[in-house]
């Protein structure tokens, strides 16, 4: 125990020796002497300068907290700080692994909204395709696909069986696909 004024300090022998020799850990001096090395190590390991700067800061905080454990006979201050930096980097990598991944970044960009010209052209193609259908086939497509009626509702309105309406829809859509495909091939040529 050492008495300074009226205060009693309980100093361990290594700490007391460092205090008496002027070798106590000085964060500002350590940063000036070793900061660029620590930053380089962290930046190379993490690939992110901002995270590397945070690692250097955390290294110096941990070094300050553990300054009692520094023993110059076991290694230099530089070696001690590099070891602490290594542990901080490992902790940072582990913390990154625990964070949820932003899946939006992995998703492909949605296709752009079609322009007015494209929508008009698509509607004209659809109208032309509907015009080529028989009135019965056109009625099924318009009532079910456009107006949203069910086959049962359409069957009650028209008196035509549901099975017949479904067959008409099948052949109408098949004809529309062929018409749209022909228009697309014609436009590409």
Q: Within a domain: residue 108?
A: no
**Same domain, yes or no, for 176 and 128?**
yes
pLDDT of residue 105: 64
The average pLDDT across 92-121 equals: 73
The average pLDDT across 55-69 equals: 92
**Same domain, yes or no, for 91 and 44?**
yes
User: Whole-prediction pTM value?
Assistant: 0.44
pLDDT of residue 20: 40
Q: Within a domain: residue 107?
A: no
Confidence of residue 63 (pLDDT cuts 50, 70, 90): very high
pLDDT of residue 1: 47
**Same domain, yes or no, for 96 and 120?**
no
Question: Which among 79, 29, 38 has a CA at the least distance from the CA of 57?
Answer: 38
Q: What is the CATH number of the domain that holds 94?
A: 1.10.1740.10
pLDDT of residue 186: 65
Please give the Cα distance from 82 to 88 (Å, whole number).
10
Which residues form the domain of 89? 2-100
**Same domain, yes or no, for 81 and 138?**
no
Question: What share of the chain has pLDDT > 90, as a percent?
Answer: 44
Average per-residue pLDDT for the chain: 81
**Residues facing residue 9 across a β-bridge:** 2
Q: Are 86 and 42 in contact (CB under 8 A)?
A: no
Q: What is the CATH number of the domain that holds 139?
A: 1.10.10.10
Q: Within a domain: residue 151?
A: yes
User: Could you count the other beta carbons within 10 Å of the beta carbon of residue 43?
Assistant: 17
Last residue of a domain, one of 100, 130, 159: 100
Q: Within a domain: residue 66?
A: yes
């Amino acid at each position: 125990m050492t008495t300074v004024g009226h205060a009693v300090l309980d100093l361990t022998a290594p700490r007391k020796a460092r205090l008496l020799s002027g070798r106590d850990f000085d964060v500002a001096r350590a940063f000036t002497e070793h900061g660029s090395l620590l930053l380089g190590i962290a930046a190379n390991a993490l690939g992110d300068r901002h995270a590397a700067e945070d690692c250097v800061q955390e290294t110096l905080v941990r070094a300050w907290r553990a300054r009692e454990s520094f023993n110059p006979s076991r290694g230099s201050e530089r070696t001690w700080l590099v070891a602490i930096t290594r542990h901080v980097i490992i902790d940072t990598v582990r913390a990154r692994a625990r964070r949820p991944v932003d899946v939006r970044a992995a998703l492909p960009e949605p296709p752009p909204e079609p322009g007015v010209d494209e929508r008009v052209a698509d509607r004209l193609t659809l109208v032309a395709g509907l015009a080529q259908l028989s009135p019965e086939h056109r009625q099924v497509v318009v009532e079910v696909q456009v107006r949203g009626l069910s086959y049962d509702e359409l069957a009650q309105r028209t008196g035509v069986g549901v099975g017949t309406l479904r067959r008409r829809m099948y052949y109408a859509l098949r004809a529309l696909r062929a018409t749209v495909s022909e228009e697309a091939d014609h436009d590409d040529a």
